[in-house]
């Protein structure tokens, strides 16, 4: 295996024997084969689009198939088998529609690919088509990986949005083009930079759709204090990013004497009016994904994983953990079709919390609507010199010790600065009492990683109010990345021309020195150094 798609890749280069995430070589090969099969489908779909032939169901399948290869989503080999078969089936169906139009089948191996009949055969096919066998030119290969990994993030958000009825054929059209292009060796660096920027644009659209889905279905988040303790009673912990799964669970547990707690990226869901209305939607438990082994082991109820990031469930809680949607782990029970009765049954068997514990609250719900609702006060505070600077400290969390940088950065940020945050990196500092500036909390949780859309809208609105560009605002982006949704978000920010982003805890292994030079020269991207040095460089 050779996988370098996430930040914790082995030795900063690639996982070659076993994934640091727990991914085994057979799963790595099957994920590569899913992408290869989707590339074959993409060649046909991209040609079809030129003829005005599109198919929404094919697009929705594409999102799921590509999302399933994202870090920490699915570790169950069997689950990839139908995805590979379906990609080929849809490719053949689409080509059959093109034949009468005189559009020949694309002349590439991926568009002729036939899956092996058993799992071993599929693994061998995946090994024969490694994702990283992309290009003889190292810099083009680097950009191809950037695009393919970004595409995985786009697919994830597009899938979430589609579950809430939000869909745009243009997002799928970009993915087809990108995946088909990755098979070519005749595109130059300029073409790949363009594809990378357009990946950012496609991701902005996907995040916008998801924002419309989330806020349209559940209302705009409102500032909400969320208990981080617990109360006596049966309990279910829900993790991941999927609001619809959460709503389904809340409905199914009404009146059953079970409290619902969030974990990881589910924390911001407490701010949505139509979700917080459920009286048994009690509070938040634990921190970010990399702490789940300790935290899930101590949770006295059932656990539902709706999306990434799942880690290998320990024997102590394997009977308590359930996966749904695209998430999978061999041996963990998968519940589909929005039927969570098995999760509820398990929660009722388990003891639940046997006491009340008050550990205070954390505040969520500072999405674009809430923040822009007090934009006048924010602008006045900036003009009066009460707010000197805004920092967006956001992105993924992870296990590396270097991620303490983000905690220290927030602790050391001067008292006349405001911290905006999003995604699971916030758990490094989410419970810190940073106080207020003139009634404006110094720590504002915008939401999940996909709420980068909301952060962008806030930045654009502030730039409009100050009559300047986003790069001229007293705003610095201090980002942490781990998986491929963060790659997509980074490309979105670059595609919007946002400069001087500080990125850590380490730079992607798939970026070559030349591509890094390009990013530094054109976008001023900087690796994080130390909180003191970076704060001094930003604030002077």
List of residues contacting ligand SF3 (CB under 6 A): 72, 241, 264-265, 289, 308-309, 396-397, 423-424, 448-449, 482-483, 485-486
Q: How many CA atoms lie within 13 A of 22 on its CB side?
A: 18
For ligand SF4, give the closer residue by CB, 71 or 215: 71
The entry of ligand SF3, ligand SF4, none near residue 237 (CB within 5 to 8 angstroms by kind) is none
Cα 23 to chain centroid distance, Å, stands at 18
Q: Are strands 224-227 and 361-364 parallel, antiparallel or unpaired?
A: antiparallel
Looking at the DSSP bridge assignments, the partners of residue 225 are: 363
> Nearest to residue 455, comparing CAs of 435, 425, 483, 415?
425
For ligand SF4, give the closer residue by CB, 150 or 227: 150
Tokens 């009460």 correspond to 386
Determine contact, residues 210/164, Cβ cutoff 8 Å. yes
Distance between CA atoms of residues 389 and 417, nearest Å = 5
H or E stretch covering 323: strand 321-323
The entry of ligand SF3, ligand SF4, none near residue 263 (CB within 5 to 8 angstroms by kind) is none
For ligand SF4, give the closer residue by CB, 19 or 394: 19
* Nearest distance in Å: CB 298, ligand SF4: 25
Distance between CA atoms of residues 69 and 155, nearest Å = 10
Q: How far apart are the first and last CA of the chain?
A: 46
The entry of ligand SF3, ligand SF4, none near residue 264 (CB within 5 to 8 angstroms by kind) is ligand SF3
The entry of ligand SF4, ligand SF3, none near residue 396 (CB within 5 to 8 angstroms by kind) is ligand SF3
Cα 414 to chain centroid distance, Å, stands at 30
Which spans of this chain sit near ligand SF4 (rule: CB under 6 A)?
A: 3-6, 8-9, 15, 19-21, 23, 71
The entry of ligand SF4, ligand SF3, none near residue 309 (CB within 5 to 8 angstroms by kind) is ligand SF3
Q: Between vectors from CA 164 to CA 158 and to CA 170, what angle results, nearest 5°?
A: 35
The entry of ligand SF4, ligand SF3, none near residue 21 (CB within 5 to 8 angstroms by kind) is ligand SF4
Structure tokens at 473: 């605002």
* Nearest distance in Å: CB 397, ligand SF4: 14
**Closest residue by beta carbon to ligand SF4:** 19
Determine contact, residues 326/370, Cβ cutoff 8 Å. no
Structure tokens at 55: 């198919």
For ligand SF3, give the closer residue by CB, 85 or 293: 293
* Nearest distance in Å: CB 9, ligand SF4: 4
* Nearest distance in Å: CB 265, ligand SF3: 5
* Nearest distance in Å: CB 289, ligand SF3: 5
Q: What is the DSSP string of 424-487?
A: GGGGGTTT----EETTEESEEEEESGGGHHHHHHHHHHHHHHTTS-GGGSSEEEEEE--SHHHH
For ligand SF3, give the closer residue by CB, 242 or 483: 483
* Nearest distance in Å: CB 108, ligand SF4: 26
Q: Helix 452-465 to helix 189-218 angle, to the nearest 10 degrees?
A: 100
The entry of ligand SF4, ligand SF3, none near residue 59 (CB within 5 to 8 angstroms by kind) is none
- b/e per residue, 6-43, with b = 16+ CB within 10 A? bbbbeeeebbeeebebebebbbbbbbbbbbbbbbbbbb
For ligand SF3, give the closer residue by CB, 261 or 518: 261
The entry of ligand SF4, ligand SF3, none near residue 423 (CB within 5 to 8 angstroms by kind) is ligand SF3
* Nearest distance in Å: CB 329, ligand SF4: 14
The entry of ligand SF3, ligand SF4, none near residue 5 (CB within 5 to 8 angstroms by kind) is ligand SF4
For ligand SF3, give the closer residue by CB, 308 or 324: 308
* Nearest distance in Å: CB 47, ligand SF3: 34
Determine contact, residues 151/62, Cβ cutoff 8 Å. no
* Nearest distance in Å: CB 290, ligand SF3: 8
* Nearest distance in Å: CB 232, ligand SF4: 39
For ligand SF3, give the closer residue by CB, 40 or 264: 264
Q: Between vectors from CA 457 to CA 454 and to CA 458, what angle results, nearest 5°?
A: 90
For ligand SF3, give the closer residue by CB, 87 or 204: 204
């Amino acid at each position: 295996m050779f996988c370098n798609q996430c930040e914790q890749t082995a030795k900063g280069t690639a996982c070659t024997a076993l994934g640091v995430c727990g991914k085994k070589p057979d799963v790595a090969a099957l994920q590569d084969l899913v992408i290869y099969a989707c590339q074959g489908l993409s060649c046909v779909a991209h040609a079809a689009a030129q003829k005005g032939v599109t198919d929404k169901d094919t697009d929705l399948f594409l999102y799921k198939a590509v999302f399933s290869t994202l870090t920490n989503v699915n570790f169950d080999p069997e689950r990839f088998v139908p995805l590979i078969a379906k990609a080929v089936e849809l490719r053949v169906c689409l080509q059959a529609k093109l034949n009468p139009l005189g559009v020949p089948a694309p002349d590439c191996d991926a568009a002729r690919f036939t899956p092996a009949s058993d799992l071993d055969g599929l693994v061998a096919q995946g090994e024969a088509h490694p994702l990283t066998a992309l290009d003889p030119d190292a810099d083009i290969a680097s950009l191809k990986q950037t695009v393919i990994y970004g595409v995985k993030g786009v697919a994830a958000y597009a899938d979430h949005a589609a579950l809430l009825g939000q869909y745009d054929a243009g997002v799928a059209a970009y993915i087809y083009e990108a995946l088909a292009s990755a098979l070519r060796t005749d595109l130059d660096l300029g073409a790949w930079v363009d594809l990378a920027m357009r990946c950012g644009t496609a991701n902005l659209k996907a995040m916008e759709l998801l924002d419309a889905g989330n806020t349209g279905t559940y209302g705009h988040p409102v500032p909400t204090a969320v208990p981080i303790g617990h109360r006596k009673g049966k309990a279910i912990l829900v993790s991941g990013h999927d609001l619809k799964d959460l709503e389904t669970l809340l409905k199914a547990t009404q009146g059953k004497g079970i409290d619902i707690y969030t974990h990881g990226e589910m924390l911001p869901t407490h701010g949505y009016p139509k979700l917080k209305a459920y009286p048994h939607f009690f509070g938040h438990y634990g921190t970010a994904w990399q702490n789940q082994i300790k935290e899930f082991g101590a949770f006295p109820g059932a656990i539902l994983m709706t999306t990434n990031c799942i880690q290998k469930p320990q024997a102590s809680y394997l009977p308590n953990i359930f996966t749904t949607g695209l998430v999978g782990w061999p041996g963990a029970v998968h519940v589909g079709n929005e039927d969570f009765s098995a999760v509820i049954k398990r929660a009722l068997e388990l003891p639940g919390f046997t006491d009340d514990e008050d550990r205070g609250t954390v505040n969520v719900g500072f999405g674009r609507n809430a923040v822009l609702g007090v934009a006048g006060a924010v602008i006045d505070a900036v003009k009066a010199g009460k707010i000197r600077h805004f920092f967006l400290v956001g992105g993924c969390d992870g296990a590396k010790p270097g991620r303490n940088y983000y905690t220290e950065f927030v602790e050391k940020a001067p008292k006349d600065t405001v911290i905006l945050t999003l995604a699971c990196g916030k758990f490094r500092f989410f419970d810190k009492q940073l106080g207020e500036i003139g009634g404006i909390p110094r720590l504002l949780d915008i939401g999940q990683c996909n709420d980068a859309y909301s952060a962008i809208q806030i930045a654009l609105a502030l730039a409009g109010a100050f009559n300047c560009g986003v790069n001229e605002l007293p705003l610095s982006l201090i980002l942490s990345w781990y998986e491929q949704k963060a790659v997509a978000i980074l490309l979105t920010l670059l595609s919007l021309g946002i400069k001087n982003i500080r990125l850590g805890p380490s730079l992607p292994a798939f970026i070559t020195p030349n591509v890094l030079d390009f990013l530094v020269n054109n976008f001023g991207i900087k690796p994080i150094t130390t909180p003191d040095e970076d704060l001094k460089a930003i604030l002077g």
